[in-house]
Amino acid sequence: MLSIKDLRASVAEQEILKGLSLDIKPGEVHAIMGPNGSGKSTLGNVLTGRQGFQVTGGSVTYQGADLLELETEERAREGLFLAFQYPVEIPGVSNMEFLKAAVDATRKHRDLPELSSVEFLKLARETSKKVDLDASFLKRGVNEAFSGGEKKRNELLQMMLLEPKLCILDETDSGLDIDALQVVANGVNAMRSPERSFIVVTHYQRLLDYIVPDFVHVLAGGRIVKSGDKELAKELEAKGYGWLEQEVA
């Protein structure tokens, strides 16, 4: 599904990703952990083609094609989804119009018929119920004055509506209360399928008790420095990252 080879990327003239490699097969869940500032969000930004993030080396193949050739919106329509660590507030643009525009664009790309306003409203309401977000949030501006947890649930809502193939969750668990964490985990687990893959970026082993990963990677200094199974997350929880840096050095 996704094959990242020796990826190097800079932002503001500074190299952040320094030869990162990662392979993800359909249906797999990969957790990425790592110290603050190590490049986890940068990876998400680079994969989604955010302006200002320059790829200086390596390759990214997604579903057999060169991902880096595509525009941000094309990547999204091809099924790449990033749940933002910091979702963006857009006052004046209603959540509803935003969601409809996104779903329409995606369905069009997949040659699916457009949902009528009524059909979409029904779908949006049902889905927001699943992420425990009141339907009134559909009428508000995109993320406008949402609480931290509400923003994360809104990310999940978008993910569910867009039915992506590869989902990157960037600290979707941060700032969530226990119940909300459960909601997010259930949402992700319900979407797990043999065709759909996930990259789950998190600082907390706790999330991985709910969303059990196939692989756990440690990203440090712009590279994957260690990979393992879910036991690695427990080890990290107990020992921190210091021992790894020594091991790598």
Partner 1 sequence: MTDKSITDFQQQALVLAGQQTSPDWLAGLREQGAELWSSAAWPSRKTEHWKYTPLAPLQKVGFGRWADVEADWQDQQEWLDIDATRLVFVNGVFHPEHSSELPAEVVRFGAAEGAARAVIEKHLGKVVDAEKHLFAALSNAWTSDGVLLHVPANQRLEKPLYVIHVSTATAEPATANQRLLLVLENGAQAEVIEHFVSGASEQNGFVNGLTEVVVGENAELHHYRLNLEEENILHVGGVHVDLQRSARLRAFTIAQGSRLKRIDYQVNHRGEGAELDLQGLYLPRNKQLIDYHTEIRHMVPHCTSKEVFHGIVGDSAKAVFNGRIYIHPHAQKTLAELSNKNLLTSNKAEVDTKPELEIYADDVKCAHGATVSQLNLTALYYLQSRGIPRAEAEVMLNFGFINELLQQVAQPAVRAYLGPRLAQLFSPNSELLRHLSYE
Binding site for partner 1 (CB under 8 A): 48, 50-51, 71-73, 75-77, 81-82, 84, 87-88, 90-94, 96-98, 100-102, 104-106, 109, 141-142, 158, 162
SS3 99: helix
Give me the phi and psi of 189, to 5 degrees please.
-60, -35
SS3 215: strand
Among 7, 33, 39, 137, binds ligand ATP (CB under 6 A): 39
**Alpha-carbon span 160 to 187, nearest angstrom:** 8
197 neighbors 27 (Cβ within 8 angstroms): yes
Q: Check residue 196 and report its DSSP letter.
A: B
Nearest position to Mg ion, beta carbon: 41
Indicate the residue among 39 and 127 with the shorter CB distance to ligand ATP.
39
Which one of the spans 33-41, 122-130, 141-149, 228-236 is the region binding ligand ATP (CB under 6 A)?
33-41
Among 2, 7, 79, 85, binds ligand ATP (CB under 6 A): 85
Indicate the residue among 138 and 207 with the shorter CB distance to ligand ATP.
207
Tell me which amino acid residue 145 is.
A
Q: Does 38 participate in binding Mg ion (rule CB under 5 A)?
A: no
Tell me which amino acid residue 80 is.
L
Q: Does 48 participate in binding Mg ion (rule CB under 5 A)?
A: no
Q: Does 106 participate in binding Mg ion (rule CB under 5 A)?
A: no
Among 10, 41, 45, 143, binds Mg ion (CB under 5 A): 41
> Where on the phi/psi map is residue 80: left (φ > 0), alpha (ψ -120 to 50), or beta?
beta
Q: 172: which residues sit within 8 A by CB, 6+ positions away? A: 83, 152, 155, 156, 184, 200, 202
CB of 11 to Mg ion, least distance (A): 12
Classify burial at 147, counting beta carbons within 10 Å of its beta carbon; exposed 0-12, middle 13-18, buried 19 or more.
Answer: exposed
Q: Does 85 participate in binding Mg ion (rule CB under 5 A)?
A: yes
Q: Total residues at the site for ligand ATP (CB under 6 A)?
A: 13
Choose the contact partner of 105 out of ligand ATP, Mg ion, partner 1, none; CB within 5 to 8 A by kind.
partner 1
Q: Does 202 participate in binding ligand ATP (rule CB under 6 A)?
A: no
Count of alpha carbons within 13 angstroms of residue 80, beta-carbon side: 24
Contacts with Mg ion, residue ranges (CB under 5 A): 40-41, 85
Binding site for ligand ATP (CB under 6 A): 11-12, 16, 34, 36-42, 52, 85
